[in-house]
Amino acid sequence: MTPGARLSAAIEVLADIAERRRPVADALKDWGLAHRFAGSGDRATIATLVYDALRRRASAAWIMGEDSSRAVLIGSLRLQRGLAAQTIAELFTGERFAPAPLTEAERTRLETGTLADAPVHVAGDVPEWIVPSLASAFGDDLLPELRALARRAPLDIRVNTLKASRDATREALAHLNPEPTPLAPDGLRVPLGEDGRGPALHVEPEFLDGWFEIQDEGSQLAARLSGAKPGMTVVDLCAGGGGKTLALAALMGNEGRLVATDGDPRRLAPIHERLRRAGARAEVRTPRGGPGRRDAGRPDVMADLDGSADLVLVDAPCTGAGTWRRNPDAKWRLRPGSLATRVAEQEAVLDRAARLARPGGRIVYVTCSLLPQENDAAVAGLAARRDDLALRPLDLPASVAERVRRTAHGIQMSPERTGTDGFYVALIERGPDRS
């Protein structure tokens, strides 16, 4: 496909997303199935164009004076890729499936459009209704944080120390030019290509042998800050596909008892193969029935562990607001009702975690969110509901302490401050048994 044809395809996909309010991955997959002539390189480039346009949807529409899919793509080429008006015009020729030529109005907007007077939700490319929550989290740093959240995310991997060292893995992947991550001691950062896409790490022999997992540096730090150690009894209560379960197993050196579960049994499907590949030991407990059966008499597969866990990691279901660099479509689909649903789920899972922790045990609460309702408010609510629980400060390495943002009850990582996805971590301790 020509560069212009790829632009036309991206506009088509963006229109489908807007009209049907569907996840970008679904729209891209359907487009690929309907256009089988497009090669893998074409599909990758189209995907990058679409993701970049969604990252800058509000600001691109603002400078172009309209919010059509064509206008958003054109505006994103200037804002996200820094292309000049003339360069963009050379791509919009109308020839060989390229989009129609730029109108005089479009060229004028490209040359003169500015974000100088744009409201913060436009300049920061987020839904307007969520700005008050983000402002309470970031204060005067709000706009820089939002702009960082609209950039492309880096590609990080976590070295599996059960099988290899960071130095050995870096040497084995030397052809990809990885560098150590700034904060996570087991992380490597792999450079992205000019199109913003990374190499196919899942086909590397070292990945197939379990030497590393693809995992954002913030997620790596969240697992490490849990304080998991060899010999502990640890529960990963919202394990999902197992990313943090694998990290916990490595921190524990496969010594102790590690139990992984999730309220939605479907999310656990990948964990078994990932554990095998990593050489990690964990007991996986899969709830019976679907996720909707939680209150329909479904047996509690964790009941025998109540009051016995040294550490309960709660990687809670959340809005994912901290991952909008990677999932920019999610921010435009988020609604206040969705946030309320997540807050209710977080309350339920924290209450379950409190029953699992032994006297003197710890609960470490993690979200990939930037919203205080899902973070400080959630842990404060748990402490208020249980008089045997207390919020404690996290013990942070100096390099991490100087970068993260301290909140009332935990810490917040963010793209601007730490260069990671937006992760929140808080520590809750259960007091000694008073009986």
117 is in an annotated binding site: no
Q: Which of 203, 11, 166 has its CA nearest to residue 94? A: 11
* 170 CB-near residues (< 8 Å, 6+ apart): 178, 180, 188
Cα–Cα distance measured from residue 218 to residue 231, given in angstroms and rounded to the nearest whole number:
25
Cα–Cα distance measured from residue 70 to residue 171, given in angstroms and rounded to the nearest whole number:
44
DSSP string across 49-60: HHHHHHHTHHHH
Strands 257-261 and 187-190: unpaired
Cα–Cα distance measured from residue 385 to residue 89, given in angstroms and rounded to the nearest whole number:
60
* 397 CB-near residues (< 8 Å, 6+ apart): none
DSSP element (H, E) containing 357: strand 357-367
315 is in an annotated binding site: yes
Cα–Cα distance measured from residue 288 to residue 333, given in angstroms and rounded to the nearest whole number:
30
Beta bridge partners of 392: 427
DSSP state of 422: -
Q: Which residue has the tokens 């309209």?
A: 66
Tokens of 229: 């150690």
* 377 CB-near residues (< 8 Å, 6+ apart): 343
Q: Which of 13, 368, 370, 425 is the catalytic position?
A: 368
Q: Which residue has the tokens 């700034």?
A: 182
Does 368 qualify as catalytic in the annotation? yes
| Catalytic site positions | 368
- What residue numbers does the annotated binding site cover? 262, 315
- What residue numbers does the annotated binding site for S-adenosyl-L-methionine cover? 262, 315
